[in-house]
Homo-oligomer: A and B are copies of this chain.
Amino acid sequence: MQSYTARINVRYAETDKMGVAHHASYLLWFELARTGLLRECGHSYRDMESSGTLLPVIEYNCRLVRGAEYDDPVDIETTVSELRSRAVTFAYRVTRNDTLLAAGWTRHVCVDADNRPRRLPAEVVTALAPYVNT
């Protein structure tokens, strides 16, 4: 199984008055990591979107274990936890020096530019297959 790992440093604006990254920031990091995985497997989301294949989020979940502080280097390891003909779920593990900070997932359906359900293109399914964690 392959995975894609994005690395970010926590932005000052992402912290809140508790002194750690606000819980919504994780969703933005998930998105960044997902974008990276798709680019790595040869299907940049930008190009997919231009050609009428959109993957809007229909559900998300995140469990927070430890806080991430300003400027902390944070890794977001991303895999595919479910791959269907019309939907895909990405799973994320957020760590700092191998310490787990958070884990979550985002579920996406495939739609066209008019927001009508469609099948994931076969070549995208093929490209995502190695990232499926089983």
- A: residues with CB less than 8 A from B are 9, 11-13, 15-20, 22-24, 27-28, 31-32, 35, 39, 44-46, 49, 54, 56-64, 69-71
Query: A46-B71, A60-B61, A62-B59 known; A17 and B27 CB under 8 Å?
Result: no
Query: A18-B56, A70-B17 known; A11 and B31 CB under 8 Å?
Result: yes
Q: How far is the CB of A99 from chain B (nearest CB, A)?
A: 16
On chain B, the residues within 8 Å of A15 by CB distance are 16-17
Q: Are A70 and B46 in contact (CB under 8 A)?
A: yes
On chain B, the residues within 8 Å of A12 by CB distance are 16-17, 22, 31, 35, 45
Inter-chain CA distance A12–B111, complex, in Å, is 17
| Among B23, B45, B58, contact of A57 (Cβ-Cβ < 8 Å) | B23
| Among B44, B46, B56, B58, contact of A63 (Cβ-Cβ < 8 Å) | B58
Inter-chain CA distance A64–B104, complex, in Å, is 16
